[in-house]
Amino acid sequence: MRYWLMKSEPAEVSIDDLAARPGQTVPWFGVRNYQARNFMRDAMRVGDLAFFYHSGCAEPGIAGICQVCSTPYPDATQFDPASPYFDAKSSPANPRWLLVDVRLIEKTPYVSLRRLRGASELANMPLLARANRLSITPVSAAEWQFITGTLMA
């Protein structure tokens, strides 16, 4: 099993939105970075766990845990001219952008970015690297255990 951190702006999809959805499942749409797309395409597997991270808000942080529950498939928003995620260079025959579905495991105590930055055990976590803006990043097993066992306790 691998572990991930997946960022979502709460105004778009929050942990509460995920909890209210049918089956508590949502397609992780709108990823428009090749490295993040490649993580979904090449490394994510059904059953992997991820931190659901609120970004682009007053206090960014981890709001819950979700699980990858589908294999990658084309993100339909890339084909919709009315979508902010439209990509005119993408086509159904040759899609550029993929997504996976995620299912809520649990809403957790909120772990703020400030609290994550204050933990020396997380010094090498990709989320905390300077200029890292990826919406999906890997989380090591040690980082996962520290966050779930110490910061969420």
Q: What is the CATH number of the domain that holds 69?
A: 3.10.590.10
Quote the domain boundaries for residue 117: 3-151
Residues 39-83 have pLDDT tens digits of 999 999 999 999 999 999 999 999 999 999 999 999 999 999 999
Tens of pLDDT, residue by residue over 79-111, are 999 999 999 999 999 999 999 999 999 999 999
- Give me the number of domains the chain comprises: 1
Give the separation between CA 139 and CA 125, rounded to whole angstroms: 7
Asked if 118 contacts 147 with a C-beta cutoff of 8 angstroms, the reply is: no
**pTM exceeding the 0.85 threshold for the entire prediction:** yes
Q: Cα–Cα distance between 9 and 125 in angstroms, integer? A: 20
For the chain, helix, strand, coil in percent to 5 are 30, 30, 40
Q: Which residue carries 């059904």 as its tokens?
A: 46
Tell me if 34 sits within 8 A of 14, measured CB to CB: no
